[in-house]
Amino acid sequence: MQVMDMEHELRALRIQLAEKSKRSLLLQKELARSKGVKDNLFSLYELDGAETLGSYLRIKPCSDIAPELSKCSIQWYRVSSEGGKKELISGACKSVYAPEPFDVGRSLQAEIIYDGQLIKLTTTGAIDPAAGLGNYVEALVRKHDVEFNVIVTQMNGVDQPSESIHVLHVGKMRMKLRKGKTAVAKEYYSSAMQLCGVRGGGNAAAQALFWLAKKGFSVVLAFESERDRNAAIMLARRFAFDCNIMLAGPDDRTSLET
């Protein structure tokens, strides 16, 4: 009976903490509005979603007079915690964005332009890491080659109708994508390679990554979970770094080197 009572108490405590966290987030958003808004444009939209790795953020209209987002120009940025340096996230121009490992420790900002008016939405704080992800990646680092089951949703920008399972190998020297025994791509880490989270594409973006294996060949891969997607990115970047390669997404290299 004591074990059951403790389980009930723990469950109730988790619910209370979740509610407190939700109320705290709402209060922070209200405070951000009161401090940073000089007109009422801000109240047309808000950022919805958990500000943590493994989740996704959505620009949500919160007024009946808010213009349709399909008629607006959208661009997401990373904002560093020190100095507030703003870095454009190339290709992140949808109403949804899924944070990826590079975003941890930085705030995210979405700029919306409609009819010449600029609206800025910023997360209440820096993006939090996913609980337990660091330890999971450290355990994977000890392996020579790590396999992830994935589905190829795009190849060279073209949607793939088939949902057949492929296997992505993340190794210490190279990455490989295969279907059965056939290698679809097999490339050593190089300055030409790019890897990042998918920048847009709905709530499934949190489970997908973009990989430019080499010039002229790119794929979008969907993973079984957000944890596997982020672990694959972190692991590949760790192995690439050991090969003196900074593995990043489009236009991210300059910001990494400065």
Give the pLDDT band (50/70/90) at residue 164: confident
Same domain, 143 and 214: yes
Looking at residue 81, its amino acid is S
Same domain, 190 and 154: yes
Q: Quote the DSSP letter at residue 167.
A: E
Same domain, 238 and 137: yes
Would you report the helix, strand and coil content of the chain in percent, each value rounded to 5?
A: 30, 35, 35
For residues 76 and 91, what is the distance between their CA atoms, to the nearest angstrom? Answer: 9
pLDDT given for residue 43 in this prediction: 77
Q: Which domain holds residue 224?
A: 133-257
Over range 96-101, report the average pLDDT. Answer: 96
**What pLDDT, in 10s, does the model give residues 187-198?**
999 999 999 999
Give the pLDDT band (50/70/90) at residue 178: very high
- pLDDT of 35 higher than 50: no
Same domain, 116 and 62: yes
Same domain, 243 and 180: yes
Same domain, 124 and 141: no
Over range 36-44, report the average pLDDT. Answer: 54
Same domain, 11 and 57: no
Over range 14-40, report the average pLDDT. Answer: 50
For residues 221 and 229, what is the distance between their CA atoms, to the nearest angstrom? Answer: 9
What's the 3-state SS for 169-233? Answer: EEECCEEEEEECCEEEEEEECCCCCEEEECCCCCHHHHHEEEEEEECCEEEEEEECCHHHHHHHH
pLDDT given for residue 4 in this prediction: 47
